[in-house]
Amino acid sequence: MLFVRHRGRLGTLFERIGYLSQGLPGLVLALALVFFAIHAAYPLYQTPELLVVTYAIMFFPLALVSLRASLAQAPPRLEETARSLGCRPTAALRRVTLPLVAPGIAASAALVFLAAVVELTATLVLIPTGANTLATAFWGYQQNASYASASRYAIVIVAIAAIPGCLLQRWFDRGQEQS
């Protein structure tokens, strides 16, 4: 939020770096992190935590783009108006800005969630031995040509993708009527 409202040189730089990670292939990022974990943070190697960090780096730009769009829904002017009407800064945030950006935050969370669920390349590299995500499980069975077993995971992935989609759709429809 700070990046969008207060555009400084540092903020812009940080944001650009964030976008860069979107441009990198997942495999490159994953190998870089493996290298980093082995040499600099060995306890992290082969842990689920490292996988989460990877996802955070990979999907940060995705979250940023959709957050930026939703923050445009709540210009600072509305917050100022709220303050002139007697709201403390925290109350203005709670009563005006949050309700306006909440759908956007939910949407970006859902987008990132979906992308993380189906992410495969970086996951294959970084997943702790013996553990599986839906995508790696699907990949494993599919590699062995066990299409029947693989299809179970595929169905779960599709179902998970559909649920937030439906919820968001309903939310946006309601938002459309209001704004």
Partner 1 sequence: MTGLSVAGLHKSYPGTPVLRGIDLDVKSGTLTAILGASGSGKTTLLRVITGFEEASHGSVTVDGTVVDDSRHRVRPEHRRIGLVPQDGALFPHLTVRANVAFPLPRRDRRGSRPDEMLELVGLSGLAARYPHQLSGGQQQRVALARALASQPSLILLDEPFSSLDAGLRASVRSDVLAVLRATGTTAVLVTHDQDEALSAADHVAILRDGRIIQADAPRQLYQCPADPQTAAFVGTANLLEGTWDGTRVTTTLGRHGIYAGLQTPQPGQVTVLIRPEQICLAQPGTDAVPARVTATHYHGHDALVAVRPDPPGSQAGNGDGKELRVRVSSDAPEPGEFVGLTVRGSVAAWASPAGS
Instruction: Return phi, psi of residue 46, to 5°.
Output: 70, 25
For partner 1, the closer CB: 93 or 124: 93
Task: Kindly state the greatest CA–CA separation across the chain.
Answer: 66
User: Minimum distance between the CB of residue 94 and partner 1, rounded to whole angstroms?
Assistant: 12
Give the Cα separation of 139 and 143 in Å (integer): 6
User: Minimum distance between the CB of residue 70 and partner 1, rounded to whole angstroms?
Assistant: 12
Chain residues binding partner 1 by CB under 8 A are 73, 77-78, 80-88, 95-96, 99-100, 177-179
For partner 1, the closer CB: 96 or 114: 96
Cite the DSSP H helix spans in the chain.
Answer: 2-5, 9-23, 26-40, 48-71, 76-84, 89-92, 98-118, 121-126, 134-143, 147-178
User: Minimum distance between the CB of residue 66 and partner 1, rounded to whole angstroms?
Assistant: 18
User: Do residues 135 and 94 make contact, with C-beta atoms less than 8 angstroms apart?
Assistant: no
User: Minimum distance between the CB of residue 5 and partner 1, rounded to whole angstroms?
Assistant: 14
Relative orientation angle of helices 98-118 and 147-178, to the nearest 10 degrees: 170
The pair of structure tokens assigned to 23 is: 């441009």
For partner 1, the closer CB: 36 or 172: 172
User: Minimum distance between the CB of residue 150 and partner 1, rounded to whole angstroms?
Assistant: 44
Give the Cα separation of 76 and 133 in Å (integer): 41
For partner 1, the closer CB: 32 or 87: 87
For partner 1, the closer CB: 94 or 152: 94
